[in-house]
Amino acid sequence: MFYKSDSHRELSVFKEITEIYILVPALLGLKGNLEMTLASRLSTQANIGNMDKKAELRSMIFGNIVLTQLQAIIVGFLAAIVSLAMGWVPQGHFNIRHALVLCSSSVSTASIASLALGGIMIIVIVSSHKCKINPDNIATPIAASLGDLTTLAVLAGIGGFLFKIIDNYTWLPIMITLIFLILTPIWIVISYRNEYVKDVLIHGWSPVVAAMFISSVGGIILDFAVQTLRGVAVFQPVMN
């Protein structure tokens, strides 16, 4: 995992779009926060017996998947905007193509990682409940440690691909970002109508957004360190 993080430094997108280093801690933190809160919600529902009925279980799983997608898209987009702003202020110039790549990569990575890791968490919690094992004893540690490598790999893959084709296919990152943003009102309506996640939809934003801003400040430090200290990126997953 450490080698993977440092090898990303050699990719063109990481060399040219230095704001991506500001984005990395925010995305990794977002992934962890979403999986931890998802594990907590589902474990609570399992412990109070709401997973015993199939209809309730399906509604619960679907609602939580939609909610985590909504949170991932919105906070991922905000993280990209914050990263661009924090990178633009000291540099004094704004590159629209870099901004398009960063925004589309951030939203795509957040959504894909959230869907994949959330699916794993759901399988673990439901399986634990069926085996009469307390999901809290399994899901929380897994959620805390799972997915840094996955998130970094997805970000590097999507970002690298979009960076290579941005000159000839400028419309693609725009389209990707717009598709995700258009989906957000749909996810909001579905989440609002789901009794298991409605309260989180209304009251659960401030901790996730605040954590994103704090992680972005750490990203500024990482961005500076990567430019001045060769090899420091290898320690990023440990610091995160």
In this prediction, residue 11 carries a pLDDT of 62
> Cα separation of 188 and 71, whole Å?
10
In this prediction, residue 129 carries a pLDDT of 86
In this prediction, residue 184 carries a pLDDT of 96
> Cα separation of 36 and 135, whole Å?
12
> Cα separation of 24 and 216, whole Å?
8
Of 165, 213, 224, 183, the residue nearest 66 (C-alpha): 183
The total of other beta-carbon atoms located within 10 Å of residue 31's CB is 28
Of 239, 238, 230, 227, the residue nearest 21 (C-alpha): 227
Whose tokens are 């440690």? That residue is: 145
- Residue 203 token pair: 């009251």
The total of other beta-carbon atoms located within 10 Å of residue 158's CB is 21
In this prediction, residue 48 carries a pLDDT of 86
In this prediction, residue 225 carries a pLDDT of 62
3-state secondary structure 85-98: HHHHHHHCCCCHHH
Structural domain boundaries enclosing 130: 2-14+21-239
In this prediction, residue 32 carries a pLDDT of 84
Backbone angles phi, psi at 182, to 5 degrees: -65, -30
DSSP codes joined into one string, 62-121: HHHHHHHHHHHHHHHHHHHHHHHHHHHHHH----HHHHHHHHHHHHHHHHHHHHHHHHHH
Q: Tell me how many domains the chain contains.
A: 1
> Cα separation of 186 and 166, whole Å?
29
- Residue 125 token pair: 């919690």
Whose tokens are 């307390």? That residue is: 134
CB 1 within 8 A of CB 148: yes
Provide the residue-wise pLDDT of the chain in tens; the chain has 240 residues: 433 444 444 467 777 887 888 888 888 888 888 888 898 899 888 888 888 888 889 999 999 999 999 999 999 999 999 988 887 866 677 889 999 999 999 999 999 999 998 998 899 999 988 888 888 888 777 776 777 778 888 998 999 999 999 989 999 999 999 999 999 999 999 999 999 999 999 998 999 999 898 888 877 776 666 666 565 555 555 555
The span from the first CA to the last CA of the chain, in angstroms, equals 13
